[in-house]
Amino acid sequence: MKKVIACFVIFATILFACPLGSVAQNNTATQQKPNAVNTVSKDAQGSDALDELEAESNVPQAQKASADNMGFHQLLKQKFIDGNAGFMSLVALALVLGLAFCIERIIYLSLSEIDAKRFMGKLTDLIVANDIEQAKELSRNTRGPVASICYQGLLRIDSSIEDIERSVASYGSVQSANLEKGCSWVTLFIAMAPSLGFLGTVIGMVMAFDQIQIAGDISPTIVASGMKVALITTIFGIIVALVLQIFYNYILSKIEHLTAQMEESAISLLDAIVVYKLKR
């Protein structure tokens, strides 16, 4: 399971690293193009001024058309870079690690699920038929916490009902703790993602005020550049928290389902053992 988490983290890191390089190259290319246009405009004659004005008037329309043609993935990459790659990388890291723990828990819980009613039906029939060794073998060869607590109860079948009940309850607590293992890390990343977004918001506002102080004038362009970084980091942080929260609630629902199965199976096991002892 640890190998699965490591492979997922490496794959997600590569997935987020590749867009950074491609977008950075695009930004370098776009920075070189305006410099070339300015050099040509300085050498142009007065007759080219009208063409230059018409070209500038068509720039917003071209940008709008390119934004419309841009897919969701490209738009997401562009916004990721616009929101300051440093802080956005931390938010992306929280998403990758949180998803890794979520996927690990989902796989573990899915493998722990069995048809509890069918299993307990077979086990009860074996216990009532005084075939305890076969019942132990069935519990030992069946995966999941339900079979584990039944096996622990069958190991102490010669003890009193009270001792068997305490043993089953104690081992059930251990199995419940195993089901919830790693969930604290998921809650950590759920809380960390928006916090990193808010941190980017504060730093973006500080950057905006620094630029205003350097310029000596409150320009809408200067304010907008800093606030854009601030708001984008907050948006991505909240989105990451929402995604992880959905997975976390799904994990909790599976844990509750398995816990209910364990409680019902423990009651059925004790009832079957009582019938077995009465027959003796």
- What pLDDT shows up at residue 82? 64
Instruction: Output the furthest CA–CA distance in the chain (Å, rounded).
Output: 112
35 pLDDT band (50/70/90 cuts)?
Answer: very low
Token pair recorded at residue 9: 């983290």
Q: Residue 101's CB: how many other CB atoms inside 10 A? A: 24
Top pLDDT among 237 and 11 is at: 237
Q: What is the H or E stretch that residue 86 is in?
A: helix 85-112
Distances (CA, A) of 189 to 97, 101, 103, 195, 250: 8, 10, 14, 10, 16
pLDDT of 61 > 60? The answer is no
- What pLDDT shows up at residue 264? 93
- What pLDDT shows up at residue 42? 42
pLDDT of 121 > 90? The answer is yes
Top pLDDT among 3 and 145 is at: 145
> Please, which contacts does 19-22 make with residues 24 or more away whose CB atoms are closer than 8 Å?
19/77, 19/80, 19/81, 20/80, 20/81, 20/85, 20/89, 22/77
- What pLDDT shows up at residue 47? 45
Q: Which residues contact 43 (CB under 8 A, 6 or more apart)?
A: none
Per-residue pLDDT tens digits for 123-150: 999 998 888 999 999 999 999 999 999 9
The DSSP output letter for 48 is G
**Cβ 81 vs Cβ 20: under 8 Å:** yes
Lowest-pLDDT choice from 40-44, 48-52, 266-270: 40-44
- What pLDDT shows up at residue 254? 95
Top pLDDT among 70 and 49 is at: 70
Lowest-pLDDT choice from 112-126, 183-197, 200-214: 200-214
Give me the residue spans of the domains in the chain.
82-279
Top pLDDT among 73 and 122 is at: 122
**Cβ 163 vs Cβ 277: under 8 Å:** no
Per-residue pLDDT tens digits for 237-266: 999 999 999 999 999 999 999 999 999 999
On whether the pTM is more than 0.75, the answer is no
Share the mean pLDDT of the chain: 77
The DSSP output letter for 181 is T
Question: What is the percentage of the chain residues whose pLDDT exceeds 70?
Answer: 69
**Cβ 80 vs Cβ 236: under 8 Å:** yes
- What pLDDT shows up at residue 113? 92
